[in-house]
Every structure is written in C-alpha cells, then in structure tokens.
C-alpha cells in the first residue's frame, strides 16, 4: 500500500483531533449561540448532547477510520458496503460548505489582528464597515485559505500534527488569562449568572435544535472529519479514551470562552446583559470594545487574542480541508499537492456569497431566504450554517451510528474499539456505547434532523 502518512504519536493525534474540534465553533460560535439561546439553559442542553450523544458517535467515527484507513467515502466501501458511501459523500459536501463560510469568519479574524494592532476599537459600527470592505476581507480570507492549504499540503505528521501541538497549549493559557481579567470587572457576576444559572422557561424547540447543531459542529462530528483523522491513527491507540479527551478538551474550551465573554458583556451592559444576543458579530464587537478600555496594553492584548483565534481556526480549517483532499487522493487518484490547491480554490469561490452577505449584497444579506425560522430574513452565511451544521451533521451522525451498529455490526465496532484498549470489552463504557450508538443516537438524531428541517426551512413547528 502506498504510504498515506499518519500521526507519529498518541499526543499528536489527540492534539490534531482536539485542534479540529476546538476552533471558531468554541470561541466565536458557542458564546453567540448561548447569547441567542437565552443563556445557561442552552448550555445545559448543549453539554448533555455533547457527552450523552456526541461522544459515542465520535468514538465510532474514529473506529471506522482506523479500521479502514480511508476517507469517509472509501471507508464505507472498504467495509464492504458501497451503497452506504453516500453518507461519506454527504459528509464531504458538508465539509466543503462549512469550510466555505468558516473561512470567511477566519478571514475576518485574521484581519482583526491588524485592526487591533492599529488600535481600532470601534465596536459594532467599525465591524459593520469592516465586513463591507469585501476586497480587504476577501483578501484576508484568501490568505487564510492559502495558509490552510499550505499546512495540509505538508501532510499529516509534518504539517497538521506539528501545528496543532504548538498552537493548542498556547491558546489555553491565553484564554485563561483573559478569563481572570474579565472576572475582575464590575458587573462580571451578572454575566456569570446569565451564563451559568439556567432559566428553563427560555427553552423552546429552536434552542434545542441549535444546541444539537452546535454540539456536532463544535466536535467536528457527522461529516467524517474524524473518520479521516482516525484513518491516520495506529492500532495501539485507545480510541475510547482519546474520544473522551477530545470531547472534554472541546467542551472545556467552549466553557472557558463563555467565562471570558459573558463577564465582559455584563460589564459593558452595566449588568443588563443587553447585547448578549449579538449573533455572528458578537466577539468582533464585544471584545474589541473591552480591549479599547485597557489603555496602552489594549492593542497588545487585542492582537494576541485574534492571533490565537486564528490559530484555533487554522487547526479546524486544516481538518475541514483534509476531508475532501483525502477523498480526492484516495478515490480520484489526484496527487496530494494538486488536490489541496484545487479543492482550496473551489471552496474559496463557494464562500464568496457568504462574504457578500453582510450588507454588501442585499440579495445575499437578506433577500436570499426569508423562510427560515418562521419568516425572518437570513443572510447567506447563516443559511449555509443552518443547512450544514444543524441539518447535515446530525443526519450524518445518525447514519454513521446506525450503520456502525446495525450494518457493519456492533461486534465489529467493539472489536475495533477494543484494539489498544484491553479492558474495553465487558466494561460499562462498552455497554453504554452499544446502547448509545445502536439506539439512542440514531433515534434522537433522526427526530432532531426531521424537526430541524421542518422548523428551519419550512417554518413548521411541531413542538
């Protein structure tokens, strides 16, 4: 077999997979979803989804990847079920869609490094004007995509693994420092209350669907990113404990991001928490305003923050690009380097409408869809996010779980999970995973998928 490359160590794999999981989804997405979902009640539902449903699906994806040593499409074929490989194709489509808009936001973040360094702390107005300068932000986006492509073209252990091992720890230290600072501000506790004390009257169907979408997105599940990374993992690796660590790391970073941002919103709003539901612009508006109050260290802290955000985003864009690239290399026999640049170019182009949808083009900003969630106008980026994150990922997760338990069969899944984990068989974890992958996840995910599609795209709400 031609060498596909692989992770050189356990820690390398965990860093890369955690790097895939930890990204804009945690630091940009999670706080704004919490804000829009009404605070702590969203957090509770989100955490339940992550640990009860997503963790078993994660172990399953990695196991399928390691067993087959293939990309998500080739994996189903390699197990002997070619007629299931549409699930892999759907995953690749999701990856392409996600990267197309993800790169737009990463591009914004990249440009904000320079805005911060220059001491531009203008808040909402500044951000609004910034997203309108499409050649500038488009250029940043292009640079970000090119960087992603460069890492992916270097392969697994030399590019992806090395980058992740360096970037992840730095990110954590930096975020903790920011948490400590924001907790010292006046009205910080109002933010903490909003974030951590649940008010279950705020929960409605839409909140539940978004929590599910966010959990899948944040954990990089449902589209085969972890099948792909799993394909580079060796047989000595304990998949179950790796999946647990990755889940914990991802949830941990999201929780820390909230601890960083909500006290700041508490401070800025004078305790009313107005502005918490700031949507996609939240961290580009709230945080810079705070950095502006720090005096001479503001530009330093601001610059550092966006540098780290870009690093976190980079380890995720790398995993997103790796999925279609692995497919092109394994299935279409295209050389890695070529595949990387072609695929990256196509995905950048697909992202252009998302780039234009923040006021530059009326069509992509509002007129494009008006049916979502019972008639509110939606920009193109949010539309793609609803389609990919909230719909395709849970569907993919449902299918992967169902496939593993009932088509490939539980004992095969168990055998793969037991490799590198001598105590797995007969353990409580095994029993739980069997139940979750076989019944709970397929059922819950199928229901959530149908309800989400009806609600988001047809405005029909059953609950």
Please give the residue ranges that form the binding site for ligand PHE (CB under 6 A).
20-21, 23-26, 98, 217-218, 220, 223, 225, 316, 319-320
Instruction: Give whichever of 106 and 429 is closer to ligand PHE, judged by the CB atom.
Output: 106
Residue partners of 138: CB distance under 8 A and separation at least 6: 107, 352, 355
Minimum CB–partner distance for residue 94 and ligand PHE (Å): 8
Instruction: Give whichever of 232 and 424 is closer to ligand PHE, judged by the CB atom.
Output: 232
Minimum CB–partner distance for residue 460 and ligand PHE (Å): 27
Instruction: Give whichever of 182 and 220 is closer to ligand PHE, judged by the CB atom.
Output: 220
Instruction: Give whichever of 97 and 116 is closer to ligand PHE, judged by the CB atom.
Output: 97
Specify the DSSP class assigned to residue 221.
-
Instruction: Give whichever of 140 and 424 is closer to ligand PHE, judged by the CB atom.
Output: 140
Q: How far is CA 239 from each of CA 67, 133, 416, 420, 435, rounded to the nearest angstrom?
A: 11, 45, 9, 7, 18
Q: Which helix (H) or strand (E) holds 128?
A: helix 123-132
Minimum CB–partner distance for residue 222 and ligand PHE (Å): 8
Using CB atoms, what's the residue nearest to ligand PHE?
Answer: 25
Instruction: Give whichever of 289 and 317 is closer to ligand PHE, judged by the CB atom.
Output: 317
Q: How far apart are CA 184 and CA 242, in angstroms?
A: 35
Q: How far apart are CA 194 and CA 180, in angstroms?
A: 18
Minimum CB–partner distance for residue 135 and ligand PHE (Å): 26
Instruction: Give whichever of 97 and 339 is closer to ligand PHE, judged by the CB atom.
Output: 97
Minimum CB–partner distance for residue 190 and ligand PHE (Å): 27
Tokens of residue 207, six digits? 């909140």
For residue 274, give the 3-state DSSP assignment: coil
Minimum CB–partner distance for residue 21 and ligand PHE (Å): 5
CB-CB contact of 315 with 168 (8 Å): yes
Minimum CB–partner distance for residue 311 and ligand PHE (Å): 12
What's the per-residue H, E or C state across 197-220? CCCHHHCCHHHHHHHHHHHHHHCC
Specify the DSSP class assigned to residue 351.
T
Q: How far apart are CA 286 and CA 168, in angstroms?
A: 24
Tokens of residue 229, six digits? 């990374």
Minimum CB–partner distance for residue 223 and ligand PHE (Å): 6
Q: Which helix (H) or strand (E) holds 360?
A: none
CB-CB contact of 444 with 412 (8 Å): no
Q: How far is CA 200 from each of CA 194, 196, 426, rounded to the nearest angstrom?
A: 12, 12, 38
Instruction: Give whichever of 18 and 188 is closer to ligand PHE, judged by the CB atom.
Output: 18
């Amino acid at each position: 077999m031609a060498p596909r490359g692989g992770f050189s160590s356990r820690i390398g794999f965990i860093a890369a997979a955690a790097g895939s999981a930890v990204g804009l989804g945690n630091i940009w997405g999670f706080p704004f979803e919490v804000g829009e979902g009404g605070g702590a009640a969203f957090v509770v539902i989100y955490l339940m989804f992550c640990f009860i449903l997503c963790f078993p699906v994660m172990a399953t994806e990695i196991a399928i990847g390691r067993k087959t040593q293939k990309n998500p499409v080739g994996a189903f074929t390699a197990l002997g079920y070619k007629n299931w490989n549409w699930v892999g194709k759907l995953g690749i489509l999701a990856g392409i869609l996600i990267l197309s808009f993800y790169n737009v936001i990463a591009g914004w973040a990249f440009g904000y490094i320079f805005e911060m360094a220059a001491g531009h702390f203008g808040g909402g107005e500044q951000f609004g004007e910034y997203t309108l300068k499409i050649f500038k932000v488009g250029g940043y986006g292009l640079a970000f995509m090119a960087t992603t492509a460069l890492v992916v073209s270097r392969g697994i252990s030399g590019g992806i693994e090395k980058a992740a091992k360096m970037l992840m720890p730095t990110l954590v230290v930096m975020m903790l420092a920011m948490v400590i600072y924001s907790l010292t501000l006046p009205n910080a506790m109002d933010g903490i209350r909003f974030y951590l004390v649940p008010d279950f009257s705020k929960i409605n169907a839409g909140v539940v669907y978004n929590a599910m979408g966010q959990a899948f997105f944040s954990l990089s599940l449902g589209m085969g990113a972890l099948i792909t990374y799993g394909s580079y993992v060796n047989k000595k690796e304990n998949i179950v404990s790796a999946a647990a660590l990755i889940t914990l790391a991802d949830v941990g970073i999201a929780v820390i991001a909230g601890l960083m941002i909500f006290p700041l919103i508490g401070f800025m709003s004078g305790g009313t928490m107005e502005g918490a539901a700031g949507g996609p612009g939240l961290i580009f508006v709230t945080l810079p305003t705070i950095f502006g109050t720090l005096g001479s260290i503001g530009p330093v802290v601001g610059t550092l923050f966006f540098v780290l955000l870009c690093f976190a985003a980079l380890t995720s864009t790398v995993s997103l690009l790796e999925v279609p690239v692995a497919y092109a290399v394994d299935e279409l026999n295209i050389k890695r380097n070529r595949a990387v640049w072609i695929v990256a170019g196509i995905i950048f182009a697909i992202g252009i409408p998302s780039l234009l949808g923040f006021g530059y083009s009326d069509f992509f900003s509002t007129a494009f869809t008006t049916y979502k969630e019972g008639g509110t106008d939606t920009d193109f980026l949010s539309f793609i996010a609803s389609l990919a994150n909230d719909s395709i990922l849970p569907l993919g997760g449902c299918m992967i779980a169902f496939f593993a338990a009932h088509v490939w069969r539980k004992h095969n899944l168990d055998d793969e999970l037991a490799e590198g984990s001598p105590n797995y068989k007969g353990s409580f974890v095994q029993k739980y995973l069997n139940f979750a992958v076989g019944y709970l996840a397929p059922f819950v995910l199928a229901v959530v998928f149908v309800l989400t599609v009806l609600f988001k795209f047809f405005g029909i709400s059953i609950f």
